[in-house]
Chain A
Amino acid sequence: MDPELFRRVQPADFLQRQLADGARPDGRPFTATRKMKLNTNSLPNCEGSATLRCGSSLYVAGVRGEIGSPTDAAHPSHGRIVVTTDFSKLCGADFRDEAGPSQNLSVLLSKTLTQLVNHHKAIDLSQLCIKETEAVWVLYVDVVCLEYDGNFADLPLLASVAALRNVRLPVVTYDTSAKAYRRTTDEATQRVHFKSSPVCVTFSRVLDEDAYWLADPTREEEELGTALTVAFVGGAGEREVTPIRWGGAPVDLERVSRRLLPTASRIKEDVYDALLVG
């Protein structure tokens, strides 16, 4: 039978045979990520922006800064960052609210990425203060997926962090007559500093009986399995992680995470951190 036809008609069997031979359909080893390319500052109307290409996936992230009032009573000088992900119809993913088993995934993902990006170990939000208790920067990050090929967690987060790292906030003055803060046309120099870039590494657990864990899954690998995402928020010294798994067959997570964490750390440092810096 034609292999392409077999791949479409029996995707699970096709994948199983490939993995039993020790390689994935695109030839990568199990723990390797795809090649990634990051371009920054491509959108002139945003305070910061980034375009991320990974395999056939394409994400565009833009940051727009608005001036708002602090919402956290315990931290009156903290600004905030709000991440919104959008997997519209044109990207080819089936995450729309009304269809299929992945309902509401983009809402959940937005909430999770917002939590990660605002984590106190990753960023000191008081740098976004304009005037304590009155005005702070609220950074709205919109991540749009233009083409989807697996790995819904790592790539939008990378794109958002890259966009945030390239943000240049304008200088702001208080207009007493209008009783509002206005942007000035002075050169925008204020940057957003991350103590450590929050990134996450996703594995897909495919084929329940054999249970292969594949890093940076493509779309077909993701559809045939359940995902485990390891989110890193601490710096190099304190390695603090949050494993995130939203359902699937029961796994011995202690054993699995002992096996996968070194791989995840390596991917984080060698691939993701290097991408964000370089």
Chain B
Amino acid sequence: MELNASLFGREKRSDGRFPHQLRPPAVEVGLLHRADGSARFRLGDTSVTVAVYGPSEAQQQRKTLLDRAYVEVLVRPLSGPADAEERSREAILQKIFEAAIDTPRHPRTVVQITVQPMNNDKPMMHVCVVGIYMALLDASVPLRSLPLAVALAYRPLPQGSPDTDFPFLVDPLHTELAACEGCIVIVLDASHRRSKAERDEGDEALPSSAAAAAAAVRRASDAPRGRVLATFPECGGAMPPEVFHTALKVAENACKVLDSFVRLSFERRLTLLQAAFRVQNSHGGDDDDDD
């Protein structure tokens, strides 16, 4: 119904971005040596350090669940003691990651996730979610779904302005929020896109009749796995339902950017690790290891 044009904004913002653009992401993975996995993820200037310990043996009786792992999230504020704000963040992150981590694989263990925001920017839940995701990848914790998150601020514009069809600001700055009705965070599952593509690829290998049959079955009962893991208001974001459905599409576009970023970051690391592994192995055999 709506053209793709309404998934992009036209009028530039105060920092030079278009309304549909994220700030540039950056990450440092594996920076904490004691932790099983760690990541410092940045979106522009908003930065979060995450440490993951686990799955490790549950030391306390109350943290022992017989059929799955116990996922614990701790959010440490920049300064001062943790209060209600941190606790409600912990609650949301805990619910998201308890569903995302493959907990039945490691019963009677604890996965402890510690999140430390490096500055006081708001909104920052989306940065926390991606930071935790990358730290979990670093720790090689098995995941059921791959959560990527983006924050969207909603600001309805009057008719005649260039962005009437695109009443959003993706990845808003704190200063931009004052002019907006509210802000929501949408958490999507990155794995959906890959599995659908893999399904399509897999069909080519079958003989043509089987491929046609498989395609027909898929079309008939096409229940897409779906993509949304979580959505919640960061500071009061109510909008008409049609606008919310557009917001989901906008969030999907933004998450594609994050998805590519995560893959690139880890692919580079993986090739370095593989090269180091090969070098180490060839060391044992002969003395020449010019590669």
B39-47, B96-104, B258-266, B282-290 - interface stretch: B96-104
Please state if A261 and B233 are interface contacts (CB–CB under 8 Å): no
Which residues of chain B have C-beta atoms less than 8 A from A249's C-beta?
99, 144-145, 226, 229
Please state if A246 and B145 are interface contacts (CB–CB under 8 Å): no
**Which chain A residue shows the least CB distance to B95?**
A247
Q: How many residues of B contact A (CB 8 A)?
A: 49
Given contacts A121-B238, A244-B233, contact A252 B94 (CB under 8 A): no
Q: CA of A242 to CA of B236 in the docked complex: distance in angstroms?
A: 8
Query: Scoring A residues 96 to 110 as 1 if CB is less than 8 Å from chain B, else 0, what string do you get?
Result: 011111111101101
Q: CA of A244 to CA of B245 in the docked complex: distance in angstroms?
A: 14
Our pick among A74, A231, A254 for the contact of B238 (Cβ within 8 Å) is A231
Query: Scoring A residues 238 to 262 as 1 if CB is less than 8 Å from chain B, else 0, what string do you get?
Result: 1111111111111111111110010
Is the C-beta of A115 less than 8 angstroms from some C-beta in chain B? yes
Is the C-beta of A41 less than 8 angstroms from some C-beta in chain B? no
Query: Scoring A residues 113 to 124 as 1 if CB is less than 8 Å from chain B, else 0, what string do you get?
Result: 001101101000
Our pick among B91, B187, B188, B237 for the contact of A105 (Cβ within 8 Å) is B91
Please state if B241 and A244 are interface contacts (CB–CB under 8 Å): no
Q: Which residue, B85, B189, B231, has most C-beta atoms of chain A within 10 A?
A: B231
Tell me how far the C-beta of B128 lies from the nearest C-beta in chain A, rounded to whole angstroms.
Answer: 13
Please state if A108 and B92 are interface contacts (CB–CB under 8 Å): yes
Please state if A253 and B248 are interface contacts (CB–CB under 8 Å): yes
Which residues of chain B have C-beta atoms less than 8 A from A232's C-beta?
238
Tell me how far the C-beta of A210 lies from the nearest C-beta in chain B, rounded to whole angstroms.
Answer: 11
Please state if A240 and B240 are interface contacts (CB–CB under 8 Å): yes
Q: CA of A104 to CA of B233 in the docked complex: distance in angstroms?
A: 17
Please state if B239 and A241 are interface contacts (CB–CB under 8 Å): yes
Query: Scoring B residues 267 to 278 as 1 if CB is less than 8 Å from chain A, else 0, what string do you get?
Result: 000000000000
Q: How many residues of A contact B (CB 8 A)?
A: 47
Which residues of chain B have C-beta atoms less than 8 A from A107's C-beta?
84, 87-88, 91
Please state if A243 and B231 are interface contacts (CB–CB under 8 Å): yes
Please state if A108 and B226 are interface contacts (CB–CB under 8 Å): no
Given contacts A108-B92, A242-B237, contact A248 B230 (CB under 8 A): yes
Q: Which residue, A100, A244, A248, has most C-beta atoms of chain B within 10 A?
A: A248
Query: Scoring B residues 124 to 163 as 1 if CB is less than 8 Å from chain A, else 0, what string do you get?
Result: 0000000000000000000011000000000000000000
Tell me how far the C-beta of A111 lies from the nearest C-beta in chain B, rounded to whole angstroms.
Answer: 5
Our pick among A101, A251, A257 for the contact of B244 (Cβ within 8 Å) is A257
Please state if B245 and A257 are interface contacts (CB–CB under 8 Å): yes
Query: Scoring B residues 199 to 241 as 1 if CB is less than 8 Å from chain A, else 0, what string do you get?
Result: 0000000000000000000000000111111111101111111
Is the C-beta of B165 less than 8 angstroms from some C-beta in chain A? no
Is the C-beta of B71 less than 8 angstroms from some C-beta in chain A? yes
Please state if A240 and B239 are interface contacts (CB–CB under 8 Å): yes
Is the C-beta of A70 less than 8 angstroms from some C-beta in chain B? no
Given contacts A111-B84, A252-B226, contact A246 B91 (CB under 8 A): yes
Q: CA of A110 to CA of B83 in the docked complex: distance in angstroms?
A: 13
Please state if B228 and A239 are interface contacts (CB–CB under 8 Å): no
Which residues of chain A have C-beta atoms less than 8 A from B92's C-beta?
108, 246-247
Given contacts A99-B62, A257-B244, contact A242 B88 (CB under 8 A): no
Tell me how far the C-beta of A102 lies from the nearest C-beta in chain B, rounded to whole angstroms.
Answer: 8
Q: List 16 A-B contacts (CB under 8 A).
A: A101-B70, A102-B91, A103-B72, A103-B91, A105-B91, A108-B88, A111-B88, A116-B236, A240-B239, A241-B238, A242-B233, A244-B232, A244-B233, A246-B95, A252-B226, A253-B226
Q: Which 5 pairs across A and B sit closest by C-beta, in order of nearness?
A: A247-B95, A252-B226, A253-B228, A108-B91, A104-B91
